[in-house]
Amino acid sequence: MSDAAEGSKSDSAETPDMDDDVEHENALQDVIAVDANDEKQGTANRLDAHTGDGIRHRAFTALLFDEEGRILLAQRAHDKRLWDTHWDGTVASHPVEGQSQEEATRQRLEEELGITPDQYDDLQKTDRFEYKRYYENAGVEWEVCTVLQATLTDTSLDRDPEEVGGLLWVSYEDLQENPKFYRQLRLCPWFEIAMRRESEADGE
């Protein structure tokens, strides 16, 4: 289940200087620290969890489709600390303590894209994996990531430009089958792993 081995740190990577990050909004938030089985081990400061070698924590990525099988991709805003301007699945984030993955997904869909629960009715968990990736010298993601999927019956959107730089509907099948195309998009690693794992499972 783990993709963590792929996240080895480059010898040339430097530890980021965090002197300016004490004011970062993430310094005021916590994530849920977990073991490899996604069992809670406590909470961790969100900024600390993404700094240095990181702290393994619970996360999710949600993939939303239209009724034609196209997936909605969201571009991360340019001022994101990690993977800025990269293309992600529809939403990705972290549940807070006491919040389920489904609750966190619904919250982020509404906050980032204006998508309300009455626009879909089949939100379900489809996968879970662990991975670790470093981003330049800015930080790290070390997550046990749950994948959720749903189909939109109403594709009305109202994106938050502070969170989402752009939106793109693409054929999910074409995206899976054309690595050259999706590499040009600069995908977030967690989304690329989720997509690859689903493609491999379908091929078994």
> Catalytic site residues?
143
Could you give the CA distance from residue 132 to residue 143 in angstroms, rounded to a whole number?
Answer: 7
What letter would DSSP give residue 16?
P
Neighbours of 114 (CB within 10 A): 13
Could you give the CA distance from residue 73 to residue 65 in angstroms, rounded to a whole number?
Answer: 9
Burial of 151 (0-12, 13-18, 19+ CB in 10 A): middle
Q: Which helix (H) or strand (E) holds 92?
A: strand 91-93
